[in-house]
Structure 1
């Protein structure tokens, strides 16, 4: 369906380019070329939408849905009984540090992201931070 929409959109853009190249001739007929371009572009867009709807409907009508076989779902039931054994990460880290003779390096705490005054407010209002929550501080 997405491929169908993409194909029709590309054809629509090509038609708009073709329309733009010849629209200046409408001025000789005492018609405003800009208004004529808007009118014809809208008609082209409506035709594109109609053709996309028709093709998507045709695709959905011809789709055949297959039910999953019981055999396909059976292997997933055996997976629940499987147990995995992994070495504890801290033990492995401690053994590696003991082998090298060095203490494990402490990871720095992640720094909090500071919002700039002109960035969008993180609350999602769409305003700049300085006009939204930046006013409060």
Structure 2
């Protein structure tokens, strides 16, 4: 199997690793550190997004909003990717945090994350409202 080089696809700015697991995936194990290493080998300048970064962190909700005060610092040792109950910490960050991992807001433009023929995207006015209030 031939490995693709960054020149094949061009430069990639960011890659997302979602730690969410379905309710039936109790024994599922993610190998984030190995995946992060592979990504860095292929695209050394890429920004890696996950609950705790390493470069950009999830803001803790999927409605496109950060906390009224949202620090770019956290203590990554307090975060486990996919762990429930850390959303508030991710949403506000930590003024005493040691690790610089700025938050990124995310939101679906549809009722869910996947396209369905019977769904309509949110109106532009709603998307602009989310964008301008995202922090």
TM-score (norm 2): 0.15
Greater length-normalized contact order (CA 8 Å, ≥ 6 residues apart): 2
TM-score (norm 1): 0.15
Task: Looking at secondary structure, tell me which structure has more strand per residue.
Answer: 2
Larger Rg: 1
